[in-house]
Each structure stands twice: as C-alpha cells, then as structure tokens.
Amino acid sequence: MEYLRVRKSPPLKGEVEIDGAKNAALPILAATLLCEEETILYDVPPLKDVQIMVEVLKTLGAEVEYIDEKTLKIKVEEIATHETPYELMNKMRASFLVMGPLLSRIGKTKTTMPGGCNIGARPVDLHLKGFKALGAKLADDYNEIGAEVDGKLKGNNIYLDFPSVGATENIMMAAVLAEGETIIENAAKEPEIIDLANFLSKMGAKIRGTGTSTIVIEGVERLHSAKHNIIPDRIEAATFMVAAAMTGGDVLIKKVIASHIRPVIAKLLEMGCEVIENEDEDEIRVIGKEKLKATNIKTLPYPGFPTDAQSQFMTLMTICEGESKVEETVFENRFMHVEELQKMSALIITDGNEAKVMGVPSLKGAQVRATDLRAGASLILAGLVAEGETQIYETYHIYRGYHDVVNKFKKIGGDIELIKE
C-alpha cells in the first residue's frame, strides 16, 4: 500500500520545468505507425500512459528504442497485426488513436472499447463516423470495434457533431494517406492538434487549417522519416501556477507556452495574482497573494477554459474570499474530486454540471483518494495549504499525467513524500 503524504507547506518558491505534453505525445506516437522509416521524438514525457502506448506500438510491430529518458527512436517497417490487445486498450483510452493510422496504412483495424479515467462517456462514435465517411466498413460488436476498407480510404467532407480532440486526431491520421481531399468541419482547435499536424507535415503530409475549426487534408502516397519536439504540457503548467497562487508563493514556470493557457492566466489575474510572462524564454512567473478573490469558470473546448484544469481551480476557490461557481460543459462525471475536497472541510455544493464553492479560512488534512488524474493533482494542492497532514491514496492516477511530481513540488518547498507501507 502506498500513499502521498502532504503537509501544510510554506509559500512555494523557485523554478519548475514543465515536461512534454502527454496529450500531444500520445497521438504523435500513434502517428509513427503511418511511416515505414525511422522517426525520432524529443521531450516525450516518461509517464505511465506513454509506456502503455509504446507497448501498443511494439505489439503492432514497431521497433522502439529509448535514446534517453525523453527521446524515442521508432521504426515501423511492417505492421505485425491489425488487432490491439484488450489488456492494453483497457488501461488507456488514448490507445484507440492507433485505429486511424492502422486503417490508413494496412486497411483494417480491430480493438475493444477503450478504458482510462472514469470521467463520463467519451463516445468513440465520432471517430467511427469519420472512418465510415472515408469509405471504411464498420464491424461494431457489443464491445469490439473494427473497421476495414477495400483498397484505399477516399477523402470526404466530415462534420463533427462535437469538436472532439480524439476524433479530430484519428480522422486526420486516417486521411493523410487517403485518396483525394478530406475536410474536417467543427474540428477541435487544441494546441495538441496543431502539434500532431506539425509532426505529420514534417513526414510529408499536406494539412492546412489546424488551429481553426476547418482542417483540410490532401492525401499523399507515403510519409517519410522526421524528427520532432513534443510541445510542453499546458495542464502541468496550469497545475504549478495554481500551486503558486494557493500557497501565496512565487514560482517561475519554465518551458510553457503562454498562448496555450490564456484562460488560466486570465483567471489567476482576476483572482488577484501577479502573472509575469516572458514569451521569448517560454516562461511564466506566478506570484500569489495572501487573499484571493472568488471567480467563476466555465469549461469549454479550446480556446476556452480547459476542463483538465477545472479541479485544480476548484481547489483554489475553496480558500478564496466569497462564493465561486464552476460550470463543467465538456465531460460529465468530472466532479468526483468534490467528495474528497469535502472531507478536507471544503464547502462545495454540486447540482448537475454546476458547482458552488464557498471559500473557507482553511482546509483540514484528511485521508482522501485520487479518483482520477486531475483530481489527484488537485488533492496535492489542497494538502499543501491544509492544516495537518493529508494522505492521498490511489496515487497511480497521478503518475499517468505527472512525471516526477513529488520531486518537482519538493524542489519549490512543498512538504510531500511518497510513503510505501
């Protein structure tokens, strides 16, 4: 049995370097299946989810070599199988992203329903609708999903009912080797989509419009080798920015792209923090104040407020002056951290996808569990300011998205230890 022990800490001070973005690395790893030649990826975060994706690639026939902890050399001369094993799919939903590349390169793919964090329905219907529009025949068993195509996929116009990040990525990867032009409308605009498109373009794909709601892909015959640096993780950056704000600290966040987290910066300023940007160096300094003001947030697809920073901000709101509101519009079931924060004396009332947070003078340490990845991060933040000791169980969720989290917090003055019993 292991848990994270977090104790009330002084204001955090110092520097934190942000790792590469998990949500950019996973689709880019999947995209290496599209190319027979060698690709080299830098700044790949050494996380559990990335390890699972590497296992998926190896199962499918990839040769993967770690040049160092964050640099991978990948070569997929031949695809060994079109089936992704259930035990790997069940560990992580993002493993579903290999379907587009497999369909594109060998004309067939088969898998089971993807697993991962339990934060509500993430229907893969949009992905499948895209594959069908490109000419694939779907085999949809109860929990087995497959698609195959005779010959090559053919470009088409695809409208997404919701700007799903995963569906945009999967369809984009399926379309790069298709015949003719594919237009994805109501596409997701996240920075991670742009990063994937940049990688595909380096391999010879013809893509334009990423970062807007209409992406146009002109199919090419084949892709070639490329080298690529993964963008920094905007959610890890947001987490440490909130940590600085909560503890009244002064933290310099290095390797962060400010334009990727505009809503986070705006809300911290609104709450009374000082935020100093240095775009030339990709750095942001956050200086917290003793008393922060309440605010309201509403999660939205990018460029709106990120759902992945919602639980961290709700934790910050628990110690602000006044009443704050949170509206979650992206995922259902994303308030699982509320019950854990309530154990720490937070005053939160939820009603459907809305939450009211009344600021309290202080939180109190308790035994809590990390119900999902971001909830786990928010409990660390709560523990840093709570009176006494907080014990966070089910820590494996946290390691799915944060590398070396204990040492990063310790380095800036956080009183945090991993205890193994």
pLDDT by residue for the chain (421 residues), tens only, comes to 899 999 999 999 999 999 999 999 999 999 999 999 999 999 999 998 999 999 999 999 999 999 999 999 999 999 999 999 888 887 887 889 999 999 999 999 998 766 666 656 556 889 999 999 999 999 866 667 889 999 999 999 999 999 999 999 999 999 999 999 999 999 999 999 999 999 999 999 999 999 999 999 999 999 999 999 999 999 999 999 999 999 999 999 999 999 999 999 999 999 999 999 999 999 999 999 999 999 999 999 999 999 999 999 999 999 999 999 999 999 888 899 999 999 999 999 999 999 999 999 999 999 999 999 999 999 999 999 999 999 999 999 999 899 999 999 999 999 999 999 8
- In the chain, where are the structural domains located? 2-19+232-420, 22-229
CATH 3.65.10.10 matches 2-19+232-420: yes
Strand 144-148 and strand 108-112: the pairing is antiparallel
Return d(Cα 70, Cα 67) in angstroms, integer.
Answer: 8
Return d(Cα 157, Cα 218) in angstroms, integer.
Answer: 12
Q: Is 320 assigned a catalytic role?
A: no
> Could you tell me which of 310, 311, 297, 266 has the C-alpha nearest to residue 284?
266
Q: Please, are residues 134 and 171 in contact by the beta-carbon 8 Å criterion?
A: yes
Task: List all residues 6 or more positions away from 125 whose beta carbon is below 8 Å from its beta carbon.
Answer: none
The pLDDT value recorded for residue 390 is 98
Establish whether the linkage from the previous residue to 303 is cis, with ω within 30° of 0. yes
Tell me which DSSP letter residue 308 carries: G
* φ/ψ of residue 144, rounded to 5: -115, 130
How far is the CA of 383 from the CAs of 2, 150, 225, 349, in angstroms?
A: 16, 56, 46, 20
Return d(Cα 189, Cα 331) in angstroms, integer.
Answer: 17
The pLDDT value recorded for residue 119 is 56
How far is the CA of 269 from the CAs of 122, 235, 318, in angstroms?
A: 32, 17, 17
Find the catalytic residue in 35, 117, 273, 320: 117
Identical topology for domains 2-19+232-420 and 22-229 = yes
The pLDDT value recorded for residue 80 is 97
> Could you tell me which of 310, 307, 243, 304 has the C-alpha nearest to residue 273?
243
Strand order through the sheet with 296-298: 296-298, 323-327, 354-358, 347-351
Return d(Cα 240, Cα 358) in angstroms, integer.
Answer: 23
CATH number for the 22-229 domain, one of 3.30.930.10, 3.65.10.10, 2.130.10.10, 3.30.70.1230?
3.65.10.10
What does the pLDDT look like over 373-404, one tens digit per residue?
999 999 999 999 999 999 999 999 999 899 99
* φ/ψ of residue 413, rounded to 5: 105, 10
Give first-to-last CA distance, the chain, whole Å.
5
Residue 120 gets the label, from left (phi > 0), alpha (psi -120 to 50) or beta, of left
> Could you tell me which of 132, 122, 73, 77 has the C-alpha nearest to residue 95?
122
Q: Using alpha carbons only, what angle is made at residue 301 by residues 295 and 307, rounded to the nearest 5 degrees?
A: 50
AA letter at 338: V
| Token pair 């407020």 in the structure block, residue | 305
> Could you tell me which of 88, 166, 82 has the C-alpha nearest to residue 129?
166
Return d(Cα 113, Cα 334) in angstroms, integer.
Answer: 20
AA letter at 167: A
How far is the CA of 388 from the CAs of 27, 152, 393, in angstroms?
A: 41, 62, 17
pTM for the model stands at: 0.94
Task: List all residues 6 or more positions away from 310 whose beta carbon is below 8 Å from its beta carbon.
Answer: 297, 299, 326, 328, 334, 374
What does the pLDDT look like over 266-291, one tens digit per residue?
999 999 999 999 999 999 999 999 99
